[in-house]
Amino acid sequence: MKNELLIISIIESIYLIYMFHFLKTSINFNVLPELSLVKDNDYFKHLSDDTCGLRICKFGRIVIFLLIAVLLIRNVYQITKFQMNVILVISFILSLMNLNAVVFLIPFWLIEIFYLRNY
* DSSP state letters, 46-63: ---SSSSB--S-HHHHHH
Give residue 103's pLDDT. Answer: 95
What residue spans of 1-119 are helical by DSSP H?
2-17, 36-39, 58-73, 81-95, 99-118
One pLDDT digit (tens) per residue for the chain, 119 residues = 678 999 999 999 999 999 999 999 998 887 766 654 455 677 887 777 788 989 898 999 999 999 999 999 999 999 999 999 999 999 999 998 888 999 999 999 999 999 999 88
